[in-house]
Structure 1
Amino acid sequence: MIKILLVEDDAHKRTTVAEAILSVPTIAEDMLDISTDVADAKRKLRDKGYDLLILDIHLPRRADKQPEPGGGLEVLRWLKGRGKEHRPTYIIGTTAYDASYELAQTEFNNLIWTIIPFSFSDNAWKERLVATVRLILDQIVPPYANDGVTYRSDVLVVAALEDPELRAVLSLPLSWEEASVRFDASRYFRAKYERDECVFDIVCVAASDKGLSSAAIATTKAIHAFRPRYVVMIGICAGVKGRVELGDIVVADPSWDWGSGKTKLGTDGEEFFHPAQYQMRLDESLRALAIELKAKPDLLKPFADAFSDNKPSNTPQIHVGAFASGAAVLQSRAAVEKILQHHKDLKAVDMEVYSVMYACHIASMPRPQCIAAKAVSDFGDDKKADDYQLYAANMSARFLLEVLRTLLRPKD
């Protein structure tokens, strides 16, 4: 998604140029910010990363000053003095004044910067501007250039496997389209989520295989390519019998790798495993979101009732609690009991959650916040079966939809 800053003090010209920009397909109003003077433009450029700056050359230095020839060049010189920090990749200068145009010639000395003379008497400038913006759009594709501050998408959804988890996500009432990433053969999908006249960008991907390593790599690659504000891990897990029921959602807090530790020799000569719990915690704002959803006992009831395949009789509930991840599939009550020794409040076990949360924790800036929520498909004992995997995957996907509705709210 392109981010554009238009700096223009003249109301008539500002409206005309904005209309030209918004006439380009795929550019929406929320991609365009407006400034009317040099000082305000600097503030916006400092606070937010932009792909394209459209800069009037004849500008006032402050809102209480009169426009002056070459006033807008102060913004350009300020950007040059800051190195690459906050500098848009593409800059287009515009002016209706010959004096300002002449002053700008020496400043616009970059192959990807250009200046377009503006005129109210003909549309040559408009055709050139639209053509230039279209060309720039073709260059702004994932993996996006990173400036350390700008998020490029709103939510990245990570599924453990394509079937059944990713398939359940793609069945949600969103218009998913496959999205390509240069030099990356992984399958990504993208959709727009609309709420209260705002449009949010959702991306999803499945790991190529089960396990901690595959999930961590898939998450890291997707963060690098799409720069999401949030990462949501969904899917299926094993629950601790007596603490959760089949189909229940468990939001991980904390999460850890139950296989992390050291095998030692005891004083009796027997080997034993000494665990090392390096826990990942849920961000407090996301924990509040999870608690808000947990307080709605019938939140998932309509989806459970509508599910026509194998399903348990209980209405799925939402839990927030301890979640252990490891490299092995568990099919033994004794194995679950050993992990219970790591944390007395353990609720669920899987093979991916910890690695996804850790990948977000150490990602390069801007770093996404992560929430992991999986549905219980079995209890990790000798009765483990695949009977409820499809049901659990769908409950997890439907919970994702509730997370999106709660998390993605228009800015005040």
Structure 2
Amino acid sequence: MTEVRLSSNQRKVVEFEEGPIAVIAGPGSGKTRVLTERIRRLLTKVPGHFRVLALTFVESAGVSITRIDHARSAQGARAQVEQQNYDILILDLVLPANDKSKDARPDVGYELLQELSESGAATRIVGATAHVETIAVYEQGFRDRTEQLLLVSPDSSAWRDSLHALLQQVAAASERPLGHDVDVCFITALKDTEYPAVVNLPVAWEAEKILANYALYRKGTIELDGKLRTVVLANTKQMGMVSACHLTQLLISEFRPRVIMMTGICGGLSAEVSLGDLVVADKSWDWQSGKWTGAGKFSHAPDQKDASRELVVSIKAVESEAPEIAKGLVHLTSPSRQFRIVEGPMLSGSAVVASDAMHEMFVAQHRKAVAIDMECYGVYYASHYAAEPKPRYVCLKAVSDMAGAEKANDYQAYCSALSAAVAVSALKKYFAEVT
């Protein structure tokens, strides 16, 4: 092989063997040549077993090297994301637990991914690996939580092209003038009932599109308070807080909405609500957040997030229109009594609750808790920590069952349609006040 000519400083970089090294140099100084020579030397002349993943970033992607932070371990990544939020986070599936460890493992990377996807530390997370065997084991978990999963190979340019396109998209978004681009984003979690209920609203919808290779969405316009308003509807990839949080982050990043509303169905917890009532969640939290004690008891540690008060007030003001709204839903199977709008706390959890015995624990967490679902807290969490311009946000869901052992689907279509109809009426009142 022909010997590559290197300067004394370049050769020092190539031959350095005492751990990680950062090289800062200007354009045209030979950084790529030095990098490739260092990798060649590690693989051919340094004792030990090396598998090297090399990623390079260029200004043509719209991202300056000065805007990129690097962490070589899960511990280092945690420290970085505690200090600031990131537009995009590229996560190697195979990572050491800390900077001193030489044992890189996929379970460490997967555990970090779970933490990051729940924390909202990055708007977009991209998974990357050169290990085919790792993808075979962890592929579904990474695809559920990341925007892209890249199989990095020197024999393929597909991963590089995909990453380059995403970086350009993120860079372009960061240059947009500060302000809201869309008036309302609707979020649902059930594609067969909740999603169609919003589609059936008097909105001029465009065709479905795919958002960030993650979820389907529609964009459209609706007349509210005498003005034509832009709306977006997206359904979570799966039920649960993690998926709802991730989708909310994507919607905020892509559309910068003035308002985020989650509509659909929930389970009732209290004597304060009955089947068919509409619950507006003034606050929400993860009821599973806490620890199990040695005595076998659960000690909860809720992190409550409040809805935007002005939206809660607008929804409550719709109650006077209840009889008229109900007339528009007579074709659906519904409870015999007139629905009411109840304001109160809504707990969220990652599992479906079908046990009356759980109610006592829920009420112990908040004596005024009235409902439970699987997504509300995820939406509130992502919205609460969103960068400027922040959206207003609220979750309103109708009670389709009493969160017990006896569950039925009789009222799901009605409750989904009811929450969507109330949402539109509330938006008319809200926009009439704020503009």
Which TM-score applies when normalising by structure 1?
Answer: 0.61
**What is the CA–CA distance in structure 1 between the aligned matches of 2:337 and 2:422, rounded to whole Å?**
16
Match of 2:257 in 1: 228
- The answer (yes or no) to whether the contact 1:144–1:227 under 8 Å persists in 2 is no
- 1:10-21 residue pairs with structure 2 within 5 A? none
- 1:98-247 residue pairs with structure 2 within 5 A? 144-145=173-174, 147=176, 149-178=178-207, 180=209, 183-195=212-224, 197-247=226-276
SS, match of residue 377 in structure 2: helix
Residue 370 of structure 1: how far off its partner (Å): 0.5
Residue 149 of structure 1: how far off its partner (Å): 2.5
Residue 312 of structure 1: how far off its partner (Å): 1.2
Residue 177 of structure 1: how far off its partner (Å): 1.2
SS, match of residue 166 in structure 1: helix
Unaligned stretches of 5+ residues in structure 1: 1-138
Residue in structure 2 matching 1:324, options 347, 359, 369: 347
Would you say 1:303 and 2:357 are equivalent positions? Answer: no
SS, match of residue 151 in structure 1: coil
Match of 1:272 in 2: 297
**What is the CA–CA distance in structure 2 between the aligned matches of 1:330 and 1:324, rounded to whole Å?**
11
Would you say 1:350 and 2:336 are equivalent positions? Answer: no
> Going by fraction, where is helix more abundant, 1 or 2?
2
**What is the CA–CA distance in structure 1 between the aligned matches of 2:172 and 2:278, rounded to whole Å?**
32
Residue 223 of structure 1: how far off its partner (Å): 1.2
Change in CA separation of 1:141 and 1:411 when aligned onto 2, cut-off 3 Å: farther
Match of 2:85 in 1: none
**What is the CA–CA distance in structure 1 between the aligned matches of 2:429 and 2:170, rounded to whole Å?**
28
SS, match of residue 370 in structure 2: strand
Would you say 1:371 and 2:400 are equivalent positions? Answer: no
- The answer (yes or no) to whether the contact 2:270–2:371 under 8 Å persists in 1 is no
Residue 244 of structure 1: how far off its partner (Å): 0.8
Would you say 1:262 and 2:291 are equivalent positions? Answer: yes
Match of 2:413 in 1: 390
Residue in structure 2 matching 1:248, options 257, 277, 290: 277
Residue in structure 1 matching 2:313, options 270, 275, 288: 288
SS, match of residue 346 in structure 1: coil
**What is the CA–CA distance in structure 2 between the aligned matches of 1:401 and 1:293, rounded to whole Å?**
10
**What is the CA–CA distance in structure 1 between the aligned matches of 2:236 and 2:377, rounded to whole Å?**
14
**What is the CA–CA distance in structure 2 between the aligned matches of 1:321 and 1:187, rounded to whole Å?**
31
- The answer (yes or no) to whether the contact 2:225–2:431 under 8 Å persists in 1 is no
Residue 141 of structure 1: how far off its partner (Å): 12
Unaligned stretches of 5+ residues in structure 2: 1-167
**What is the CA–CA distance in structure 2 between the aligned matches of 1:196 and 1:324, rounded to whole Å?**
32
**What is the CA–CA distance in structure 1 between the aligned matches of 2:208 and 2:220, rounded to whole Å?**
9
Residue 310 of structure 1: how far off its partner (Å): 2.3
Change in CA separation of 1:181 and 1:149 when aligned onto 2, cut-off 3 Å: farther
SS, match of residue 306 in structure 2: coil
Change in CA separation of 1:246 and 1:303 when aligned onto 2, cut-off 3 Å: farther
- The answer (yes or no) to whether the contact 2:267–2:399 under 8 Å persists in 1 is yes
Percent identical among aligned pairs is 33
**What is the CA–CA distance in structure 1 between the aligned matches of 2:361 and 2:354, rounded to whole Å?**
13
**What is the CA–CA distance in structure 2 between the aligned matches of 1:328 and 1:252, rounded to whole Å?**
19
Match of 1:38 in 2: none
> Which portions of structure 1, spanning 4 or more consecutive aligned residues, are displaced by more than 6 angstroms?
139-143
Residue 283 of structure 1: how far off its partner (Å): 2.3
Residue 145 of structure 1: how far off its partner (Å): 4.7
- The answer (yes or no) to whether the contact 2:287–2:348 under 8 Å persists in 1 is yes
Change in CA separation of 1:142 and 1:288 when aligned onto 2, cut-off 3 Å: farther
- The answer (yes or no) to whether the contact 1:176–1:191 under 8 Å persists in 2 is yes
- The answer (yes or no) to whether the contact 2:400–2:415 under 8 Å persists in 1 is yes
Match of 2:356 in 1: 333
Number of residue-to-residue matches in the alignment = 268
SS, match of residue 341 in structure 1: helix
Match of 1:401 in 2: 424
Which TM-score applies when normalising by structure 2?
Answer: 0.58
